[in-house]
Chains A and B, each alone.
Chain A
Amino acid sequence: MDENQEIVREFLVESYENLDQLDRDLIALESEPGSRALLSSIFRTVHTIKGTSGFLGMTRLERVTHVGESLLVELRDGQRSMDQPTTDVLLSLTDTVRAILSSVEATGEEGEADIDAVISAVEAIQAGPAGAEAKGAAVENEAVEAEQSEQVAQDEQHEQEETLEPQEAPELVEAVVASSAAEAPSGGTRTSKRRIGSRKKSGGEKSRGTKVPEQRPAPAEPPVAAAAAPAPTSAPAKRPAAVSEETQAASRATGSDTTRSASDTTIRVDVDVLDALMRQVGELVLTRNQISRIAQGSVEQDLVRAAQQLNLIAGELQEGVMKTRMQPIEHLWSKMPRVVRDLATSMGRDVALEMIGKDTELDRSLLEAVKDPLTHLVRNAVDHGIEVPADRVKAGKPAKGTLTLHAYHSGGQVVVEVRDDGRGVDGDKLAAAAVRKGLKTPDQIATASPNDLLQLLFLPGFSTAEKVTNVSGRGVGMDVVKTKIEEIGGTVELESVMGEGTTCRLRIPLTLAIMPTLTVACAGDLYAVPQVNLVELVALDSSKEDSGVEHVHSAPVYRLRGELLPLVSMAEVLGVDAQPPTVIAVLQAEGRRFGLLLDRVVNTEEIVVKPLSSRLKSIGLYAGATVLGDGRVALILDVQAIARTSMLVDVQPAETGGSDAEAVDRSIEQVLVVGVGGHRVAMPLASVARLEHVLASSVEVVGGRQVVQYRDTILPLLHLGTLLGTMVPHDAEELLVVVYSNGHRSVGMVVDDILDILDDDVRAHSDTADSGLVGSTVLSGVITELLDVRAAILAVDPSFYDEADASYTDLVGAIR
């Protein structure tokens, strides 16, 4: 009984793979309707399932495949040509077979899947008019059919042979091998699989011995070979072990199949075994880390050498074991043509699917985890992204939309892009929907950047689909994609250009079990920060009074290369005693960057992730735990969760807006307040590049303008006092200069004092049309004038904004 179960299990595994192949072939056949190679491959697949199901006593499965087979015979022999209804019927046939198989898998019974509908559909097609070329081909077909029936007879012979006990097998195996070899040029994967079955039973050595070259027949007759040559794609997906060298030689000789050469070398291994192996290697890596640490402090040369050796071997072993679990992403993608086709047909879209980087490899478990999100994204792209052909033509795009799947390795991660050239995401629509659903206030929307708007898509319960379709728009959408991807330590990015398309980028770690991290110290404890989230490290000069950390209200920010980086204090997040931070870890999560203030960076380490008990997960700060090289336990920070809880208040629903103490509220603009001749003047901080002290003696006059040499360029200077008519330039030894930059151009504005950085509520502005000012407002209880930065800059450098891209100019316009 056990043996029977084993056979059924193998049959299931094999059939699922064959069905995947079938899907691919059928889709391919639509674009290449006459391809005999594809038809033959399809026929063989169905025939194999039929044969085995008959042998295993699965009568319903046999009936379904039987009618399918007879339709396929007509197609293959040219009595009928391929068309849309035929493809549909064959695809639904595949689905039925799949349903029966999954029922067999689950219950051991064939189940109640409705086979009659499919059977009658197939029969209806067969009853319909046959293709016009049918008659002409008939004569030739007789020969083909004769060959075919012979082949079928042989197949049946195999089946009988395979049922025999190993001890009785040798001679019969020989026969199998002979006939298999005879079929080999035309036989495709099925025959080789068959032979594994028989070989397993008879013992490898014996059957290998029986494959004597004399029994290899001459290549099959030309018409048959042409008719039955397997599609090149049929072999590589699954290539079991047993093709003998002789057979390969035969293949090469006939030139009909060269893709089988590597098949000697593969075996099937239970995934559990690999998982266990992976765990053990994980432990080994930990132990190695421990030994390395001991050896580092040792003077014992032998120990040091042995530790280095161990280091090397463990590394290689880890890599090797990881490789065993790697599978090309093609495994996942192979289902996509079918998904896209079905969806495009039902939605009235015309979509071409492009797949780049099929061989990109990914850990098996990750592949499994990415499956649903990826399918969802593909569906989204077809449903929401790509327009109906008429709209596309109207928009000046080709009627056929393109959906591109692109996978590649980048920085120790696998990146999978789903790109469509559809209508793109309408930020305004998103904004409106967010307000309507009460997820955002209009004020928050008004100041949100385009990227912020895209992030709205990831909010739970957010869907902009105007009508709920069968396919998408039921509110379980991008947030689930995001959660799933984050669960496996990955990230999701979204880019969209209106009218041009949308790109969704999944960044996935290479493997789940071992994670490169940065070990950091906070209040005496060590924590691990996943390197996936790490962008860069910035050292703070703690010896200086002003470490570079500024405060907007109580929220710390850091100016990094002209951009303001919101900061989060790790000690505060963890609620432990704060020490003066020395390092900012710039992290990327939730679609934006922020800096984490750390006490100290210890080192980088590859760690083995240990699951955390659910009670600790609910704290929402930790993604797991690990054992460090010195045996200490360290917690792994959940960067996404920290980003969500501690700073990204504006992604939260509106009612939590009260807790924005640590957040940089985006509905409020930050301004730099400077003193000019006794006045307080504010200017937008966003475009301030730097604050500089310039020696008055270094100011030169060129063409009537004051300039200084600054970082190998010439920086034109503008005395704000002169511009505002408040005061003439005074004779200080040192000038305080606010540098505004745009691209390569910079302008320096000379001011008297830097007073503060403040939040400026845009709504509180009042208009005072004074020269050089756009208005005034009350900041910290003092009336402050708002500088017309654009006019001021143009006064010294009329071409300052020429290099600017349109959006920047728009932005400045908006500020005005």
Chain B
Amino acid sequence: MSQYVTFDLEDTLYGVEVGWVQEVLRPHSRTRIPRSPATVSGLVNLRGQVVLTVDLRTRLELAPRPEDVEPMMVVVQVGGESVSLLVDRIGDVVGADDDTYAPPPDTLDATTRALVTGAHKLDGQLLLLLDVERAVA
């Protein structure tokens, strides 16, 4: 049984294993980084630490987030470095048994497939498991 921090991106439910997640925060003001890759959406000050922000919408090549949706920050620890992921809406922490696990569905587009390690079939919903290391790389 694994525990996942879940969040929405364009009405799809994604999950990150709780071990990766440092904290979930309301959005901070971001400093843009000119000439940086498009997926990087700036730097935030997290209690004195400078943390890189990656917008998962851009990373997954989804449509830009509507103006009226305020993104949430999921701060993950990757390779000793904190990285903040921008998501649309934060969900519950969900426990899922191994028997609900399935490999990534074939219907996913290539970009998403490359960033998803698998899926859990929850009641009435599919939970896509995000490959955190790849997502921030």
Name A residues whose Cβ lies closer than 8 Å to a Cβ of B: 283, 286-287, 525, 574-576, 610, 612-613, 615-616, 619, 621-622, 625-627, 631-635
Interface string of B80-99 (1 = CB under 8 A from A): 01010000000000000000
The DSSP consensus for interface residues of chain A is mixed
A633 contacts B31, CB within 8 Å? yes
| B43, B48, B81: the one within 8 Å of A635 (CB) | B43
Would you call B33 an interface residue if the criterion is a C-beta within 8 Å of the partner chain's C-beta atoms?
A: yes
Residue of B nearest to A610 (CB): B50
Most B CB contacts (10 A, CB to CB) among A574, A615, A626 go to A615
Q: Tell whether, in the assembled complex, residue A616 and residue B40 are in contact, meaning their CB atoms are under 8 Å apart.
A: yes
B30, B32, B33, B52 — which one has the most chain A CB atoms within 10 A of its CB? Answer: B33
Given contacts A575-B34, A616-B33, A635-B43, contact A626 B48 (CB under 8 A): no
Per a CB cutoff under 8 Å, which of B29, B36, B49 touches A616?
B36
User: Is B44 part of the binding interface, using a Cβ–Cβ cutoff of 8 Å?
Assistant: yes
Per-residue contact bits, chain B 23-67, to A (CB 8 Å; 1 contact, 0 not)? 000000111111111001011110011101000000000000000
What is the distance, in angstroms, from B46's C-beta to the closest C-beta of chain A? 10
Contacts of B37 in A (CB 8 A): 615
A621 contacts across to B, CB distance below 8 A: 34-35
Least CB distance, B116 to chain A, in whole angstroms:
21
Least Cβ–Cβ distance between A276 and chain B, in angstroms:
15
Known interface pairs A627-B45, A633-B43; A616-B31 also in contact (CB < 8 Å): no
Picked from A283, A613, A616, the residue with its CB within 8 Å of the CB of B48 is: A283
**A633–B35 CB distance below 8 A:** no
Beyond contacts A525-B32, A627-B45: 8 other A-B pairs, Cβ-Cβ < 8 A, are A575-B34, A613-B52, A615-B52, A625-B43, A633-B30, A633-B44, A634-B31, A635-B31
By a CB distance below 8 angstroms, the chain A residues around B29 are 632
Report Cα–Cα, A188/B81, bound state, in Å: 49
Closest chain A CB from B67 CB (angstroms): 19
Partner-A contacts on B (CB < 8 A): 29-37, 40, 42-45, 48-50, 52, 81, 83
Contact A286 B48 (CB under 8 A): yes
Chosen A-B contacts, 22 in total, with CB atoms closer than 8 Å, are: A286-B48, A287-B48, A574-B35, A576-B34, A613-B81, A613-B83, A615-B36, A615-B40, A615-B52, A616-B33, A619-B36, A621-B34, A621-B35, A625-B50, A627-B48, A631-B45, A632-B31, A633-B30, A633-B43, A633-B45, A633-B50, A635-B43
Query: Judging by beta carbons under 8 Å apart, are A525 and B35 in contact?
Result: no
- How far, in angstroms, from A615 to B136 measured CA to CA in the complex? 10
Cα of A429 to Cα of B82 in the assembled complex, Å? 51
- Chain A residues near B81 (CB, 8 Å)? 613
User: How long is the Cα–Cα vector from A283 to B48 in the complex, in angstroms?
Assistant: 7
Instruction: Report the bound CA distance from A283 to B50 in whole Å.
Output: 12
User: A632 to chain B: which residues have CB within 8 Å?
Assistant: 29, 31, 45
Give, as a whole number of angstroms, the nearest-CB distance from B81 to chain A.
6
Question: Which chain A positions have C-beta within 8 A of B34?
Answer: 525, 574-576, 621
Chain B residues near A615: list those with CB within 8 A.
36-37, 40, 52
Q: With A and B bound together, what is the CA distance between A286 and B83 in angstroms?
A: 22
Contact between B48 and A525, CB atoms less than 8 A apart: no
CA distance A622 to B31 in the complex (A): 13
CA–CA, A576 and B37, complex, Å: 14
In angstroms, Cα B30 to Cα A283, docked, is 20
- Which listed residue (A287, A575, A610, A619) contacts B49, Cβ 8 A? A610
Contact of B50 (CB < 8 Å), options: A525, A576, A626: A626
Residues from chain B with Cβ under 8 Å of A574 in the complex:
34-35
Which residues of chain A are within 8 angstroms of B42 by Cβ–Cβ distance?
633
Q: Are B31 and A525 in contact (CB under 8 A)?
A: yes
**In the complex, what residue of chain B is closest to A631 when comparing beta carbons?**
B45
CB of B19 to closest CB in A, whole Å:
21
Are A575 and B44 closer than 8 Å at their CB atoms? Answer: no
Q: Chain A nearest CB: distance from B48 CB in Å?
A: 5
